[in-house]
Chain A
C-alpha cells in the first residue's frame, strides 16, 4: 500500500472527530473520538445500549450523526452514501443477518463481486459467462467454506453459514476497512470459534483492517489486537486486550455485567 513496513501499524485509516448521536435522552454516542490503525483487528465491547452499534451505524452512514465527522484515509466521508463508501473500501456487516434471501448463495456472492469489479452497470454481458466474476465468486465461497452450499437459497442455509455469508459479502468487496456487527451473535457456541476463525483467516490473508462489535469476551480477548471499551456513548478504556482486561472501570462496568 506504499507504506513503509515500520510505520505500517501506526497509520490511522479511520478517525472520528467529536461524533455525537442522541436519541432523545439517550446519549448513544457522545463526543467520541476513535482511531483505527491499518491492519489491526479492533474490538469494541460494552454493555447493552452503550452505543456500539450506533457507532458503526454512524461510521457507515446508516444513521446521520448529530455532530462530528468521520475521516477515512484523511477524507471527510461523514455524508457519503453507503454505496460510495463501499466502493471506497469501507464496508460493514449486520448484526441481524442481512442477505439477498431469495437468491442462491452463489448469486449473493456474485452480486457483491460484480459491484467490486464495477460491472453492475453492464447490461449486455452475461454474468454467468464472465470468467472474472465466476472465478472470484467461487474462490470466496471456498475461502469461507460455503462452496458446498453455492446453489442453496440463502434463506435455507443454517444460521451460522448465513452469518458467514453476510461477512463474506463484505470481503467480496475487497475492503480496506470492514465493520462487523456481532459476527457471532445467534451462532451456537460450538460454531462460534469456527465463524470467528474464518473471519480472522480472511482478515490476515487480505490486507484488511477490521472493527468488530462483539459480546463474547473469549472471542474478543483471543482475536483482537486492540480493544475499545464503551459505556454510555463514551470510550471507557482502550488498549491492548490484556491491559483493558485489567482496567478496574472495565471490570466494574463491563465484566461485572457479564
Chain B
C-alpha cells in the first residue's frame, strides 16, 4: 500500500468511529464539516486546478440547499419529495443546468473579471432569495424537513446526530474518489495545462473554453451537493448561505488548506469551519479572531497547510500531494 492510501484509510477508520467517541453535538458539527468539504473540494477543481478564482460559488451551495427546501415544501401536496437520493439526483440536474448557463457566460472571462462576474451572479441570486418572498420565504428562508434515507425514516435526533453523518460521509467519500480520479486523468492534466498557460494549451489543441466550462460545472455540482446535504442538518435555509461572505469562505478554505494539493480543500474546510465554531463559542465577534488566524496561517504557510506538509515530508509529497498538483 502506498503511504497516502494508509493515511486515507486511517482517516476513514477514525471518521467512522468518531460518532461513538465524541458528543452528539460534535457529530453534528462534523457532518456539516463534511458538507463544506465537498463544496471546497469541488471549488478547487476550478480554483486550484484550472486557475479560475470565483467570488460567487455560494450561489451553488444555496442552489442545492434551496432546491431541497423547495422539493419538500407543503404546498406541493402529494408531490413533495422526501427521498434524499431522489433529491440529490434532482439537485445534480438543476446545478448542471444552472452551471452550464452561467458558466457559459463566466468562462469567457479570466482572472479578476471571472471573479467579479461570479460575484455579480451571487449578488443577484442573493437579492432574488430575499425579494421573491412568496417562493423563498425572504429573509426567514424556508424550513427543511427530514428526508428519508434509502426509503427509511429516522427519528429527529438519530437522524441529525448519527445516521445522516454516515450518509454525508459516504457521499463525501464518493465525491472525493471521483475528484481524485479526475485529478489523475488526462482531463485533469489538461485542466492543469490550462491553468499553467491557457494560450499554449489552446495551441496544443485543447479547446480551453469548453474545458473551463467543464471545470465550472463540476464545481457547481459539488457545491450544490454540499448545500443539499447541509440543508437537512440545518433544518432551515436562509439567504445567508448564499451571501458573498459565504462565497469568500470557500476561497479561505482552499487557500488555508492548500489549493495546489488534492487534500488541501478538505483540510481547509475542517480547519476553517471548526475554528469558526470554536471561536463562536466565546465571542460574537468571531470574524475578527478568525480573520486574524487566517492571516497568520497564510503568512506562515503560503502554500496552505497541505502545501507546507508536502514540502516538509518530501517522501509523502512525491507519492501523494505534489502528484495532485
Report the interface size class on chain A.
35 or more
Say yes or no: B193 contacts A100, CB within 8 Å.
yes
Q: Which of B186, B193, B206, B211 makes the CB contact (< 8 A) with A133?
A: B186
CB closest residue in chain B, given A129: B184
In the complex, which residues 4-30 of chain A have their Cβ closer than 8 Å to any Cβ of chain B?
A: none
Say yes or no: A111 contacts B202, CB within 8 Å.
no
Q: Which residues of chain A have C-beta atoms less than 8 A from B193's C-beta?
A: 100, 103, 111
Cross-chain pairs A/B with CB under 8 angstroms, 29 sampled: A83-B202, A83-B205, A83-B208, A86-B204, A94-B200, A98-B197, A100-B193, A100-B196, A100-B197, A100-B201, A102-B196, A103-B193, A111-B193, A111-B201, A114-B190, A115-B190, A115-B205, A120-B187, A120-B205, A121-B186, A123-B185, A123-B188, A125-B185, A125-B186, A127-B186, A133-B186, A169-B200, A173-B204, A173-B205
B94 within 8 A of A: no
Q: Which of B181, B189, B202, B205 makes the CB contact (< 8 A) with A110?
A: B189
Show the binding face of B for A, using Cβ within 8 Å. 181-182, 184-190, 192-193, 196-197, 199-208, 211
Given A98-B197, A99-B197, the answer on whether A120 and B190 have CB atoms closer than 8 Å is yes
Say yes or no: A124 contacts B181, CB within 8 Å.
yes
Given A115-B205, A120-B206, A173-B205, the answer on whether A98 and B185 have CB atoms closer than 8 Å is no
CB of A98, distance to nearest CB on chain B (Å): 5
A84 within 8 A of B: yes
Show the binding face of A for B, using Cβ within 8 Å. 60, 62, 81-84, 86-87, 91-92, 94, 98-103, 107, 110-112, 114-116, 119-128, 130, 133, 169-170, 172-173
CB of A164, distance to nearest CB on chain B (Å): 15
CB of A19, distance to nearest CB on chain B (Å): 19
Q: Which residues of chain B have C-beta atoms less than 8 A from A102's C-beta?
A: 196
CB closest residue in chain A, given B181: A124
CB closest residue in chain A, given B323: A128
Report which residue of B199, B205, B207 has the largest number of chain A beta carbons within 10 angstroms of its beta carbon.
B205
Q: How far apart sit A133 and B189, CA to CA, in the bound complex (Å)?
A: 12
CB of B272, distance to nearest CB on chain A (Å): 26
Q: Which residues of chain A have C-beta atoms less than 8 A from B204's C-beta?
A: 83, 86, 91, 111-112, 115, 169-170, 172-173
